[in-house]
Structure 1
Amino acid sequence: MNQYPTLFLSLKDVDGTTFENAFNMLKFVISSLCSQNSYLETGENIRENEKDIFSRLRSQTASITDIKGSIVTIMNMMQSYYEKPVILLIDEYDVPIAKASNNGYYKEMLEVIKGMLSTALKDNSSLKFAVITGCLKIAKESIFTGTNNFVSDTISSTRYNEYYGFTQQDVDKLLADAEIEEKADLIKEWYDGYNFGEFEVYCPWDVMNYLRDLQNDLNARPVSYWKNTSDNAIIRSFIDYTGAAIRKKLEVLIAGGNICQKIEEDRTYDYLHSSEDNLWSILYLTGYLTKVGERDKDGQIELRIPNKEVKEIFELTVRKWFEDSARVTNRKDLFDAVWNKDADKATKEISTLLRMTISYYDYRENFYHAFLAGIFAGVGYSVELNREHGEG
């Protein structure tokens, strides 16, 4: 501690619906970093051209080229100022790439982030060492092409497994100190269940937030604190993309069951939706699913939803998807065809709805009867079905 200059950068806020918006946000983040280290502009040993670039970065007038070399420029200035190499800490390295993948400017953002990180990490004489965190394993990510001297610790690694969250011993101590041991089972049900290496851990963010609420109100119910720190777009994007097979597995998970899937940790965002395996790998790597046992001989892992909090996130996301899908489905043409006695048009509209909703195994007349009755009753029509006469 205090032996080397340290540069900390978080990319969590680099987001935008367009590349221009996201790039402007990136310029703001770099500008804030320069403001925190404004003393560098007064350094006697720092070259004038570096001070000029630093000034543009700080005033948010930097070019794309300036931004690509921003981290290595600041590090070079720090080394000149302190006459020691720099420790680099980068958090949420893949957020800009994930947001770019969701919004259609992946290649543009990849070029910028790749330039920033590659120049900072590869052949940089100002670098003592770097620590980088993010959702996806970085070794094979195209951001780091040419940068191959990484040691990766993922959720299946065992080196730091108990440090990713609170262990049972940690939580027991917290509850004892707060004198609320009676809440132990409730906290375990809602916030435990994450497997890292050989340890099962609690989500520390949730535990600390719930303990805070309990200190104000001993009857406070657990809530989904994690939900408010993430937009959960990853689940929604796959539900939009996938077919009935994956939705069936989601039903099994939400019902409390387990599924067996092959997990690949070397994922990149540009191929995120290229296969079903990617869905389960991403949900596993981002904490929405956790493993039940070890990999079998085929490389598959049994997966489950870790706790009640994540189950609630799944349920809300799936429910929202169904509501949006129902809202998008326009049935006005069907109703117009019925009122106008246009049998051909009605046939076409009903066939479209059937293809979207049911299997060809559902072929009995009474099924179609109930199907149409539900469609018309669901939008407010008064539907009169076949009425019984007596009990015959």
Structure 2
Amino acid sequence: MLEKTLFAILHPLWRLYDLIAPKRADHWAFTTHHLHTDRFIENQRAVFEHVKADPAIRKLVFYRNAGGDFQIENAVNCETVKHGTLRGLILLARCKVVFLTHSIAMDYSLRWPGKGFSVLKLALRKRVVVNLWHSISVKKLLYVANEEISKHTARVSYRTQERLGYAGLIASSDIDSYAMSAMFYPLNYRQVWITGLPRNDFLTQPENALPRYIRSSLERLRGMSRGRKLIVYAPTYRQTHVCDTAHYYQFSDAEIARLKNLLRANGAILGYRPHYFKNSKQHFNLDQYIDDELIFDMSQEAVPEFSALARECDLLITDYSSVYIETLYLGKPVICFGYDIDHYKTHEDGLLYDMDLVFPGPVVQHFDELMDAVESRLRFDPATIAREQATARRIFFKHSDARNAHRVKEEVLKRL
């Protein structure tokens, strides 16, 4: 792995080499998670799974640090490559197709001890660069986020500049495509592909067609629930490192006791799924109450892919996280526990939509309301849930099949 000082010296030479090196249309670059490099998940993994058996495509999976067991099965013409090594840089320079989850600045940067990183700039015009953005966003992000948050996320200038070079940015629906083109300015609307999210293929595929790591998660979840109903609490992170008044909800002992009584009475368990991004020492305190009897750890360390939770859960509690879109894809009931919704709208990222319009369930701000909503949603019949979710489904889904990754592949092939 290059050292930071050496990288600064050699980066101009890399850019020249990348510019003149011939790009091979059969070389497709994937990356593991930008922070948790041992996880090869979400949209990139779904596209990979779709093309893994194609011998005509050389699939290169770039990882940082020590990597890990990515549980890749039955792939041909495939190689995992350590990013930042000489071999890795040479192979990346040959790749005509490059997939992103967040940005080049995040996914292909070289990270140094501590929190330092250096952006590896790519020759964009010679490539088909596709941003497989990891979600259908409900929050305001990037260019449209509230001013202080937008300044913070734009502090790496290349992250904004690179968008002009994307061949495609995926979206899930017409309305989602408008939101994505606004958030990813200066990208223009004609760069947006309404393919649907490839990771949603994992929601409706037969279980025996899923990757092994998702099948293993399903078995693990069933072992935890032992036939009981599964309620998942999956909140997003708060901008505590930028906004002094942002805060995480702190459950009291009395509230946890009431929650456990509710779980027992309904033959249910609670799985806690915190956001992987922790930007300060502050966080929700629910992990202190995990007892592996009624409250379980269902973080990414335990269950890497949220699709496993979406398939197994009976009810999702979230806030402004887009994970509810996955349960919406399956018609599962959802609750928004927006304890800080007014603050979030004005002082943190902000919201793209009126939650009363796009959230397919109750939006509550207080714990008592949350408990009442849980009780009622556990008793709702599927027809009632379907009626409640009809508007949100029309807003967010142009496609509701298991062919999202296929549509991405077809768009890539048109440009080779």
Q: Same fold judged by TM-score > 0.5?
A: no
TM-score under structure 2 normalisation?
0.29
Q: Which has the larger radius of gyration?
A: 1
Q: Which has the higher contact order (CA 8 A, sep 6+)?
A: 2
Structure 1 or 2: larger helix share? 1
Structure 1 or 2: larger strand share? 2
